[in-house]
């Protein structure tokens, strides 16, 4: 048995796009757990994901207002199979990230984060996996908008970075 997760971050709706791409909504419907690493911007998107997801694990980001901060934690947590998952928006600069996160999250096996809009996959010296799904709506300097599929089986993690066709992202 395995658990299928969808990892999202930095959706910035409706500032960066009018809506999530249909491919992402299909992934939400298929996932056992949806993880969102902040910068929602819209409470409406939180309501939609909470309604449509089987389970939602999330946090707020630096661009999220008082309403989202009142409803979401700074750090979201869940136990998924044998994996202690945490989700946070910001982890600071890339240099030294692994060592900093080991100190800040000593009881975590998987840390999902956002903020940079840059996909990331690394393992810390203590063995914690760090994943950033990028953004499905705001690619910034990246060639594609992205999200991550993740399968957890026991303690094994199998991530798959997914690229969205540029036409899928509807701009304002």
Average pLDDT estimate for 48-75: 98
Average pLDDT estimate for 104-126: 98
Checking if the pLDDT of 155 tops 60, the result is yes
Residue ranges of the domains in the chain? 3-168
Q: How confident is the model at residue 168 (pLDDT cuts 50, 70, 90)?
A: low
Average pLDDT estimate for 112-133: 98
Q: Mean pLDDT lowest for which of 73-77, 103-107, 131-135, 164-168?
A: 164-168
Domain spanning 3-168, CATH architecture = 4-Layer Sandwich (3.60)
First to last CA, the chain: 41
Give the per-residue pLDDT at 62: 98
Judging by beta carbons within 10 Å of its beta carbon (0-12, 13-18, 19+), is residue 102 exposed, middle or buried?
A: middle
Mean residue pLDDT of the chain comes to 95
- Region of residue 92 (left: phi > 0; alpha: psi -120 to 50; beta: else): left
Average pLDDT estimate for 24-44: 97
Give the per-residue pLDDT at 172: 39
Residues 6+ apart with CB under 8 A from 95: none
**What number of residues does the chain have?**
172
Helix-, strand-, coil-residue percentages of the chain, each rounded to 5: 20, 30, 45
Phi/psi for 51 (5° steps) reads -75, -40
In angstroms, rounded to a whole number, what is the distance separating the alpha carbons of residues 126 and 109? Answer: 9
Give the per-residue pLDDT at 167: 62
Average pLDDT estimate for 92-106: 97
Cα three-residue angle 3-159-119, rounded to 5 degrees: 135
- What share of the chain in percent tops pLDDT 90? 91
Which residue's entry shows tokens 């709706």? 13
């Amino acid at each position: 048995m395995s658990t299928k997760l969808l990892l999202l971050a930095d959706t910035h709706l409706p500032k960066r796009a009018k809506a999530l791409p249909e491919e992402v909504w299909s992934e939400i419907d298929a996932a056992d757990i949806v993880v969102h690493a902040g910068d929602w911007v819209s409470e409406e998107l939180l309501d939609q994901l909470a309604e449509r997801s089987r389970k939602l694990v999330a946090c707020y980001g630096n661009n999220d207002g008082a309403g989202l901060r009142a409803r979401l934690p700074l750090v979201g947590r869940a136990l998924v199979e044998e994996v202690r998952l945490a989700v946070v928006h910001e982890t600071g600069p890339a240099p030294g990230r692994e060592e900093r996160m080991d100190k800040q999250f000593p009881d975590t096996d998987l840390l999902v984060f956002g903020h940079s809009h840059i996909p990331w996959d690394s393992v810390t010296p203590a063995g914690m996996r760090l994943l950033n799904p990028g953004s499905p709506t705001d690619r910034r300097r990246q060639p594609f908008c992205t999200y991550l599929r993740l399968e957890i089986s026991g303690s094994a993690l199998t991530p798959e970075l997914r690229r969205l066709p540029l036409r899928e992202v509807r701009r304002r």
